């Protein structure tokens, strides 16, 4: 089914006789395999309202992300939360849509400075599991109410409702972008350096580490953005701050090259050629090196968010949670075969009380249990 407007979407959900597999651009097959009649929102596309002066944009859920970014760029604005493009990592095609970005709460390296996708949501319209159209929040910042329900939809992966429209806060682009690069740090040394940079007053907008073998070939990146004089000053101050990091420090100031470099960090390009499984771990940054040290030999790792986000590439079928043992955080199986995704919990198993709350929410929004049934475990 491919409804062309919100009313048709509501009719399709209300009339469904069994489970529905909700789809956007088809770029992120994350979660357990879903069996159901395909329901695509790809035709619910278009920018409905864009007010650059108010820093807000309202778009239908099936609108391609590229279309939104082009419209914002024409006004020197952007989606500040820097959503990742999963296609290279997952080996998929299709076109990323804003509905998919919001449903998965997709956020990139700048999250450490500006927050996640959900933090930029002003309002949503969606169809719940009964076929009822629900509106929550607002179209502009001054009219926003009901933040809790708006944010609840971000990261629900289409299990609570099918998004039809989202309203977002946007921000101006920065004039200059540059990066400080440190070569040869161990994972522990890199996390210490990134923590120092993020704890400084120098407004770091990205902190990542591409791990190497025993530190060989490892690269640590610290990004700053803003006005030219400010960026130059902050690079100098960060260099002075990190001069004892035991690695060679260089400055990258070519805007095109720096943007390309950070696009690679955002999209986890160092792991694109890995043939096995991909895991995503959200942890306390200071715990990250210890957690990585317990991963199986041969695991390839990229750190983002100053060490708070770990991307890990493992052998096919690896139960990474079992391998690393107890830890504080959560691990999501991002890429694996259907058999592995059916056998292992894709999302971090929830404590009993939290699982009961989650189930209660799904029962409230989708009493028939037809929306992406079983996707989240």
Between CA 377 and CA 33 the distance in angstroms is 10
Between CA 128 and CA 163 the distance in angstroms is 9
Looking at residue 22, its pLDDT comes to 85
Is there a domain that residue 82 lies in?
Answer: yes
Is there a domain that residue 53 lies in?
Answer: yes
* Tokens 């708070």, located at residue: 308
Residues contacting residue 326 through CB under 8 Å, at least 6 positions apart? none
Is there a domain that residue 282 lies in?
Answer: yes
Q: Does 137 lie in the same domain as 183?
A: no
Is there a domain that residue 362 lies in?
Answer: no
Range of the domain at 260: 176-266
DSSP class of residue 117 equals G
Return per-residue pLDDT of the chain as tens, 377 residues.
888 999 999 999 999 998 988 887 666 666 666 778 888 898 999 999 999 999 999 999 999 999 999 999 999 999 999 999 999 998 888 889 999 999 999 999 999 999 999 999 999 999 999 999 998 876 554 444 444 678 888 988 888 999 999 999 999 999 899 999 999 899 999 999 999 999 999 999 999 999 876 546 899 999 999 999 999 999 999 999 998 767 789 999 999 999 999 999 999 999 999 989 999 999 999 999 999 999 999 999 999 999 999 999 999 999 999 999 999 999 999 999 888 988 898 888 888 898 898 888 888 999 998 988 877 76
Looking at residue 358, its pLDDT comes to 86
Number of domains in the chain: 3
Tell me if 272 sits within 8 A of 237, measured CB to CB.
no
Looking at residue 244, its pLDDT comes to 76
Q: Does 111 lie in the same domain as 83?
A: yes
Q: Which two structure tokens, joined as six digits, stand for 302?
A: 């990229």
Q: Cβ atoms within 10 A of the Cβ of 184, count?
A: 18
Looking at residue 138, its pLDDT comes to 62
Question: What is the per-residue burial (b if ≥16 Cβ within 10 Å, else e) of 344-357?
Answer: bbbbeebeeeeeee
Q: Which two structure tokens, joined as six digits, stand for 232?
A: 């130059």
Q: Does 236 lie in the same domain as 292?
A: no
Looking at residue 139, its pLDDT comes to 57
Domain end marker among 172, 195, 219: 172
Here the CATH number for the domain that contains residue 149 is: 3.30.465.10
DSSP class of residue 242 equals T
Question: Which of 72, 61, 69 shows the shortest CA–CA distance to 97?
Answer: 61
pTM for the complete prediction?
Answer: 0.91
Residues contacting residue 45 through CB under 8 Å, at least 6 positions apart? 60, 62, 63, 64, 67, 97
Q: Which two structure tokens, joined as six digits, stand for 297?
A: 């030999």
Q: Does 162 lie in the same domain as 88?
A: yes
Domain end marker among 222, 240, 266: 266
Q: Cβ atoms within 10 A of the Cβ of 117, count?
A: 26
User: For residue 91, what are the CA distances in angstroms to 83, 130, 274, 302?
Assistant: 17, 34, 10, 18
Tell me if 306 sits within 8 A of 195, measured CB to CB.
yes
Q: Does 97 lie in the same domain as 31?
A: yes
Q: Does 187 lie in the same domain as 199?
A: yes
Question: Which of 303, 189, 289, 187 shows the shortest CA–CA distance to 244?
Answer: 189
Is there a domain that residue 366 lies in?
Answer: no
Q: Does 289 lie in the same domain as 144?
A: no
Is there a domain that residue 145 lies in?
Answer: yes
Span between the terminal Cα atoms of the chain, in Å: 24
Q: Does 262 lie in the same domain as 218?
A: yes
SS3 content of the chain, % helix, strand, coil (to 5): 35, 25, 40
Q: Does 92 lie in the same domain as 236?
A: no
Domain end marker among 241, 266, 291: 266
DSSP string, 333-351: EEE--HHHHHHS-SSPPPP
Q: Does 160 lie in the same domain as 123?
A: yes
Tell me if 289 sits within 8 A of 214, measured CB to CB.
no
Q: Does 144 lie in the same domain as 63?
A: yes
Give the largest Cα separation in the chain, rounded. Answer: 65
Is there a domain that residue 348 lies in?
Answer: no
Here the CATH number for the domain that contains residue 194 is: 3.30.70.2190
Is there a domain that residue 353 lies in?
Answer: no
Q: Does 252 lie in the same domain as 321?
A: no
């Amino acid at each position: 089914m491919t409804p062309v407007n919100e009313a048709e979407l509501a009719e399709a959900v209300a009339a469904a006789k069994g489970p529905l597999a909700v789809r956007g651009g088809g770029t992120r097959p994350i979660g357990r395999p879903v069996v159901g009649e395909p329901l695509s929102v790809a035709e619910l596309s278009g920018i409905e309202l864009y007010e650059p002066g108010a820093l807000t944009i309202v778009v239908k859920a099936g609108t391609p992300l590229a279309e939104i970014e082009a419209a914002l760029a024409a006004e020197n604005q952007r989606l500040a939360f820097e959503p990742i493009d999963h296609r290279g990592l997952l080996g998929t095609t299709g076109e990323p849509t804003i509905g998919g970005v919001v449903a998965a709460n997709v956020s990139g390296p700048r999250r450490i400075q500006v927050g996640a996708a959900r933090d930029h949501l002003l309002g949503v319209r969606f169809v719940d599991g009964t076929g009822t159209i629900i509106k929550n929040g607002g179209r502009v910042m001054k009219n926003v109410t009901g933040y809790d329900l708006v944010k609840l939809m971000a990261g629900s992966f289409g299990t609570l409702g099918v998004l039809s429209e989202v309203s977002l806060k946007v921000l101006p682009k920065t004039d200059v972008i540059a990066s400080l690069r440190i070569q040869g740090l161990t994972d522990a040394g890199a996390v210490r350096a990134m923590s120092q940079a993020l704890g400084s007053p120098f407004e770091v907008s990205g902190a990542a580490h591409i791990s190497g073998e025993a530190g060989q070939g490892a690269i640590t990146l610290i990004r700053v953005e803003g006005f030219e004089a400010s960026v130059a000053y902050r690079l100098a101050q960060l260099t002075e701050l990190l001069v004892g990091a035991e690695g060679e420090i260089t400055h990258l100031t070519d805007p095109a090259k720096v943007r390309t470099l950070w696009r690679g960090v955002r999209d986890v390009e160092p792991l694109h050629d890995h043939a096995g499984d991909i895991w995503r771990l959200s942890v306390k940054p200071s715990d990250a090196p210890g957690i990585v040290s317990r991963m199986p030999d041969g695991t390839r790792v990229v750190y983002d968010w100053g060490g708070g986000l770990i991307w890990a590439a493992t052998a096919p079928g690896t139960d990474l949670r079992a391998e690393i043992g107890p830890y504080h955080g959560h691990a999501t199986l991002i890429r694996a075969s259907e058999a592995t995704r059916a056998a292992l919990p894709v999302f971090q198993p929830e404590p009993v009380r939290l699982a009961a709350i989650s189930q209660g929410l799904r029962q409230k929004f989708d009493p028939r249990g037809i929306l992406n049934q079983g996707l989240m475990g």
